[in-house]
């Protein structure tokens, strides 16, 4: 009874403790889940369950454009909610970059994000601006899309009128992207053009920021701008892959600061006085996901205004051309002296002496980028995604990139010419002709697939080869068919180095660059092939495989001076005519020697090999060669 009393006394207390523990545990779990949900909350416009990551690695070409289009279609078919373009490129072709931008903007997946990881120079910067949102790794660099021409001789300086022609489509593209994605319309112009000197001002009441040029500065503040150090340091254009100085190096006047970077911190190196003190950082200043709308309109702004607003006087000549290409109205306010007192100076952006290049902290400062993302796991959290899949280039696309490299194409041209020459000088060998055919397929097919070659160029090469065959086998003597054949092959091969646009406008920078590159490559290949054929003809007896084409020492006749092109050495044919019969005194492989009466002359088999001792008949004779076939009409082996 005593034990029962004890148990009955403590059981209620035990039940109370147990209940309290359970309730606290459930409450704690609930609070943990709420905290987890709060930490993973992302804006509705950004949230995506299925994220496809399309890599853009290395120089951008037409192959890249086709590959991006293919992978984006795959992402759409697979049900992706968002597409991230993982960009690491030194730049590339203007046409290819514009194609990729159009592909992104036409995509049914509107949640497109550019990840600067770590460099997006030139064409890479233009592609990044086309996306709905930009994120960046750290360190990272984006910008410097000044048009340049690259030839086999290096970077070619463009005259001003040609630079303007190349700049117009780039300006039209980045301005359209700025209007779609809410970027500053003046700021993006500095990425693709020179002379864009800008200051950044801030609305005193709302904290909204805007870039202005010198004329607008004087209009708003009533005086010339103060002397300050620009935040973006001018640098020469980055020509196709030269890496930018790394943050913290001596070439970078602003050392990288480890840890979080305040996106609106003033430049500590700036000098001079501004009309107002620089604003302090607060929560309202932090960047957010950019909507597709632009900056909120201020001042007098016509609602249907789509006119291009040049950020620099030198761009005014392009205004009408760029305006015609715009589909969206500008939301940039028209600033006048009536706006004095509404704005204060925030930053001196750039002196305009070079194209704009942004570091990771600059991208955040100017609200081009919204976040720093270093890993795929960070990327997954950025979207609140359940699934993240990478879509890289296929092996076939990488192969096409390799085969369209000018050096590789030059080697293929050399192989093609050598194989073609050996097959024509020694008919029936098959192997040289097969190698030449494979080299031609590898030369022509990749350019056809990416639009670098047209059918007329392929037809020119085919007709040229046919004319060379006619010259050698039907009308020997190296006359008009041979010359025309060589010219057609030469011109056709050069044409495969020029894309569709360059072919239409050969006086354009891209057209001239392609023509010059093709001319240098093809001419070098022709000279190299000629030298190699000369070396082969002089040393053929010592080269494996090729030594089977000529007579060995100890053959039935003295052939110590014979070589691959014995049949092309002038011979006396006064006593030997078409129809005469004799016998082969050496194997004809296909060149060799045959005896007609008391004369031993150099001959070549019409087709295949002929054994020594076989009766032969002359079917063709001229001062350069004598062609024979078996006299009994049997086929050569």
**Predicted confidence (pLDDT) per residue in 438-463, tens digit:** 998 898 888 877 766 678 888 898 89
Go through the chain and tell me how many residues it has: 637
pLDDT band at 7 (very low <50, low <70, confident <90, very high): very low
Decide if pLDDT at 478 tops 90: no
| 115 strand-pairing partners | 86, 135
Distance, CA of 486 to CA of 120 (rounded, Å): 43
On whether the CB atoms of residues 322 and 178 are closer than 8 A, the answer is no
- Tokens 């795959």, residue? 74
Averaged pLDDT for residues 469-498 = 79
Distance, CA of 309 to CA of 327 (rounded, Å): 14
On whether the CB atoms of residues 123 and 93 are closer than 8 A, the answer is yes
Sign of the C-alpha dihedral computed for residues 548, 553, 556 and 562 taken in this order: positive
| Range ranked top by mean pLDDT from 295-309, 425-439, 524-538, 562-576 | 524-538
Where is pLDDT greater, at 19 or 87? 87
Averaged pLDDT for residues 618-631 = 82
Supply the pLDDT for residue 494: 87
| Range ranked top by mean pLDDT from 68-77, 246-255, 289-298 | 68-77
Sign of the C-alpha dihedral computed for residues 369, 370, 374 and 378 taken in this order: negative
**Predicted confidence (pLDDT) per residue in 484-537, tens digit:** 988 998 888 888 887 654 444 455 555 666 778 888 889 999 999 999 988 887
| 116 strand-pairing partners | 87, 136
Where is pLDDT greater, at 513 or 610? 610
**Predicted confidence (pLDDT) per residue in 364-408, tens digit:** 999 999 999 999 999 999 999 999 999 999 888 888 888 888 899
Rounded to 5°, angle at Cα 84 from 82 and 87 = 170
| 110 strand-pairing partners | none
Nearest to 583, CA basis, from 574, 575, 592 = 592
Supply the pLDDT for residue 258: 30
pLDDT band at 273 (very low <50, low <70, confident <90, very high): very low
Q: DSSP strand E in 341-482: where? A: 343-350, 357-359, 387-391
Decide if pLDDT at 180 tops 80: yes
Write out the H or E segment, with its range, that includes residue 520: helix 509-539
Averaged pLDDT for residues 423-432 = 74
Sign of the C-alpha dihedral computed for residues 117, 121, 125 and 127 taken in this order: negative
Supply the pLDDT for residue 477: 57
User: Cβ contacts of residue 318 below 8 Å, gap of 6+?
Assistant: 164, 167, 168, 171, 308, 310
Supply the pLDDT for residue 485: 87
Where is pLDDT greater, at 156 or 563? 156
Nearest to 180, CA basis, from 93, 306, 61 = 306
Where is pLDDT greater, at 65 or 634? 65
Decide if pLDDT at 606 tops 50: yes
pLDDT band at 554 (very low <50, low <70, confident <90, very high): very low
Q: HEC string of 265-281? A: CCCCCCCCCCCCCCCCC
Distance, CA of 99 to CA of 76 (rounded, Å): 18
| Range ranked top by mean pLDDT from 5-19, 146-160, 414-428, 491-505 | 414-428
On whether the CB atoms of residues 68 and 393 are closer than 8 A, the answer is no
Distance, CA of 284 to CA of 269 (rounded, Å): 25
Write out the H or E segment, with its range, that includes residue 89: strand 82-89
What are the distances in angstroms from CA 536 to CA 146, 366, 424, 436? 48, 64, 15, 17
Distance, CA of 170 to CA of 162 (rounded, Å): 13
Decide if pLDDT at 118 tops 60: yes
Report the SS3 class of residue 445.
helix
Supply the pLDDT for residue 143: 94
Q: ω before 139 within 30° of 0 (cis)?
A: yes
Where is pLDDT greater, at 332 or 243? 332
Distance of CA 316 to the CA centre of its chain: 30
Average pLDDT, the chain: 77
Decide if pLDDT at 362 tops 90: yes
- Tokens encoding 546: 């090729």
Local structure of residue 92 (DSSP, 8 states)? B
Report the SS3 class of residue 338.
helix
pLDDT band at 25 (very low <50, low <70, confident <90, very high): low
Distance, CA of 249 to CA of 247 (rounded, Å): 6
Q: Give me the helices (H) in 238-338, please.
A: 319-324
On whether the CB atoms of residues 159 and 124 are closer than 8 A, the answer is no
- Tokens 């070549």, residue? 604
- Tokens encoding 458: 């392929």
Sign of the C-alpha dihedral computed for residues 391, 394, 398 and 400 taken in this order: negative
Where is pLDDT greater, at 345 or 156? 345
Decide if pLDDT at 266 tops 70: no
Decide if pLDDT at 292 tops 50: no
Supply the pLDDT for residue 282: 34
Q: ω before 590 within 30° of 0 (cis)?
A: yes
pLDDT over 90 percentage in the chain: 37
Q: Exposed (0-12), middle (13-18) or buried (19+): which is 366, by Cβ within 10 Å?
A: buried
Averaged pLDDT for residues 282-300 = 38
Burial 150-187, CB ≥16 within 10 A → b, else e: beeeeeeebeeebbbbbbbbbbbbbbbbbbbbbbbbbb
On whether the CB atoms of residues 137 and 118 are closer than 8 A, the answer is yes
Decide if pLDDT at 213 tops 80: yes
Q: DSSP strand E in 255-367: where? A: 343-350, 357-359
């Amino acid at each position: 009874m005593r034990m029962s009393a004890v148990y009955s006394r403590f059981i209620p207390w035990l039940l109370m403790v147990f209940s309290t523990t359970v309730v606290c545990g459930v409450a704690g779990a609930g609070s943990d889940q709420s905290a987890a949900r709060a930490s993973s909350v992302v804006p509705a416009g950004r949230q995506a369950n299925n994220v496809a990551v399309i890599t853009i690695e290395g120089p951008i070409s037409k192959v890249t454009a086709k590959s991006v289009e293919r992978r984006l279609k795959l992402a759409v078919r697979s049900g992706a909610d968002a597409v991230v373009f993982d960009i690491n490129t030194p730049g590339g072709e203007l046409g290819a970059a514009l194609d990729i931008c159009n592909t992104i903007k036409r995509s049914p997946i509107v949640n497109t994000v550019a990840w600067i990881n770590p460099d997006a120079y030139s064409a890479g910067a233009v592609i990044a601006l086309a996306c709905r949102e930009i994120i960046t790794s750290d360190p990272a660099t984006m910008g410097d899309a000044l048009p340049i021409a690259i030839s086999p001789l290096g970077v070619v300086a463009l005259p001003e009128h040609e630079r303007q022609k190349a700049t117009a489509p780039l300006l039209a593209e980045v301005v359209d992207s700025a209007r779609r994605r809410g970027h500053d319309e003046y700021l993006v112009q500095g990425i693709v053009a020179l002379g864009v000197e800008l200051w950044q001002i801030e609305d005193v009441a709302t904290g909204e920021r805007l870039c202005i040029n010198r004329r607008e500065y004087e209009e708003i503040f009533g005086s010339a701008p103060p002397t300050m150090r620009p935040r973006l340091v001018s640098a020469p254009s980055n020509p196709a892959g030269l890496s930018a100085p790394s943050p913290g190096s001596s070439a970078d006047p602003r050392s990288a600061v480890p840890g979080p970077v305040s996106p609106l911190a003033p430049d500590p190196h700036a000098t001079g006085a501004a009309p107002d003190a620089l604003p302090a950082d607060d929560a309202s200043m932090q960047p957010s996901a950019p909507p597709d709308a632009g900056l909120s309109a201020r001042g007098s702004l016509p609602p249907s205004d789509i006119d291009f607003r040049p950020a620099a006087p030198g761009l005014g000549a392009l205004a009408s051309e760029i305006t015609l290409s715009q589909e969206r109205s500008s939301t940039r306010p028209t600033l006048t002296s009536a706006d004095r007192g509404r704005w204060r100076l925030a930053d001196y952006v750039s002196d305009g002496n070079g194209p704009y290049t942004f570091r990771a902290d600059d991208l955040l400062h100017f609200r081009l980028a919204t976040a720093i993302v270093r890993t795929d796991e960070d990327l997954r959290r950025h979207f609140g995604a359940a699934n993240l899949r990478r879509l890289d280039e296929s092996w076939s696309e990488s192969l096409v990139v390799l085969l369209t490299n000018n050096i590789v194409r030059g080697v293929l041209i050399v192989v093609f010419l050598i194989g073609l020459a050996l097959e024509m000088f020694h008919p029936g060998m098959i192997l040289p002709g097969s190698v030449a055919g494979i080299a031609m397929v590898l030369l022509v097919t990749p350019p056809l697939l990416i639009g670098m070659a047209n059918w007329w160029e392929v037809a020119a090469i085919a007709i040229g080869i046919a004319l060379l065959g006619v010259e050698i086998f039907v009308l020997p003597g190296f006359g008009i068919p041979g010359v025309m054949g060589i010219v057609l092959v030469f011109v056709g091969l050069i044409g495969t180095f020029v894309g569709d646009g360059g072919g239409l406008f050969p006086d354009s920078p891209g057209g001239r660059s392609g023509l010059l590159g093709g001319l240098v490559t093809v001419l070098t290949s022709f000279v190299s092939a000629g030298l190699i054929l000369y070396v082969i003809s002089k040393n053929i007896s010592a080269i494996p495989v090729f030594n089977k084409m000529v007579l060995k020492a100890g053959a039935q006749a003295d052939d110590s001076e014979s070589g691959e092109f014995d049949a092309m050495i002038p011979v006396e044919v006064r006593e030997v005519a078409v129809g005469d019969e004799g016998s082969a005194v050496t194997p004809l492989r296909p060149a060799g020697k045959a005896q007609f009466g008391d004369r031993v002359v150099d001959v070549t088999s019409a087709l295949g090999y002929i054994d020594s001792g076989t009766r032969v008949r002359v079917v063709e004779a001229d001062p350069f060669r004598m062609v024979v076939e078996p006299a009994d009409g049997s086929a050569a082996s």
